[in-house]
Amino acid sequence: MCVVGIFGLMDPLRPGIKEAVEQCHKSGINVRMVTGDNIDTAIAISKEAGIIPYNVDATKGYTCMNGKEFRTQIGGLSNKIVDGKQIDCVANQDVFDKITEQLRVLARSSPEDKYLLVTGLKAQEKVVAVTGDGTNDAPALAKADVGFAMGISGTDVAKSASDIVLTDDNFCSVLTAVKYGRNVYDNVRKFLQF
């Protein structure tokens, strides 16, 4: 047997993604990647995008996790009664808090994992924005403070569940929305103080 050749494929990042992630970090926005990809692929993409620095060992601690491991450690989804209403919550919020201090990449994740992440972050009283394009992303998009659906590749269900539809399916547009949102917030605050 002779090796005739080796063939490799690479799906490059869209232009401007690395700069957008860097600007998010400078603006105090914690970017996390939740994907169905293999953990090795997810780590490589997240390092290329700047979500994880190249000098960080992503295999140690909770920087990168598989969805099943994440679900198991936090105990999955639970319910509690607040003011007579049943609400979703993370079964073990203390473990969730410990994990999410470091978590940057969630690989081999299910739609439930994305929803769990949003639920737990909202319990920490954080402002949560979520991007998604599939029908299975709808619960997380609806639960988030701001849901961004993809306008080109997104399903109608995802678009209906979201607050903003990105007409160009580009993460860089999220940064533009944040800039406008913060500008409006600053102007309203200045007006009310005046």
Three-state SS sequence of 111-161: HHHHHHHHHHHHHCCCCCEEEECCHHHHHHHHHCCEEEEECCCCCHHHHHH
Q: Is residue 44 part of a domain?
A: no
The single-letter code of the amino acid at 180 is Y
Q: What is the CATH number of the domain that holds 170?
A: 3.40.50.1000
Q: Is residue 66 part of a domain?
A: no
The secondary structure of 18-78 as a DSSP string is HHHHHHHHHTT----EE-SS-HHHHHHHHHHHTSS-TTS-TTSTTSEEEHHHHHHHHT-EE
Structural element, H or E, at residue 165: strand 164-166
Per-residue pLDDT, 174:
87
At 86, the pLDDT band (50, 70, 90 cuts) reads confident
Range with lowest mean pLDDT among 103-117, 123-137, 165-179: 165-179
Closest to 87 measured CA to CA, from 79, 95, 76? 79
Q: Is residue 12 part of a domain?
A: no
**pLDDT of 56 above 70:** yes
Please state the rounded mean pLDDT for residues 123-133. 93
At 82, the pLDDT band (50, 70, 90 cuts) reads confident
Per-residue pLDDT, 125:
93
- Domain residues for the domain of 185 are 127-194
**pLDDT of 10 above 80:** no
Other C-beta atoms lying within 10 Å of the C-beta of residue 22: 14
Q: Is residue 104 part of a domain?
A: no
Q: Is residue 175 part of a domain?
A: yes
Integer Cα distance of 114 and 135 in angstroms: 13
Please state the rounded mean pLDDT for residues 63-84. 90
Average pLDDT, the chain: 90
In the block, tokens 């090795």 appear at: 40
Q: Is residue 183 part of a domain?
A: yes
Q: How far is CA 3 from the centre of its chain?
A: 41
**pLDDT of 177 above 90:** no
Q: Is residue 147 part of a domain?
A: yes
Q: How far is CA 142 from the centre of its chain?
A: 14
Per-residue pLDDT, 31:
93
Q: Is residue 189 part of a domain?
A: yes
CB-based contacts of 55, cutoff 8 Å, min separation 6: none
**pLDDT of 194 above 70:** no
Range with lowest mean pLDDT among 33-37, 68-72, 77-81: 77-81
Number of domains in the chain: 1
Please state the rounded mean pLDDT for residues 110-133. 93
At 159, the pLDDT band (50, 70, 90 cuts) reads very high
**pLDDT of 88 above 80:** yes
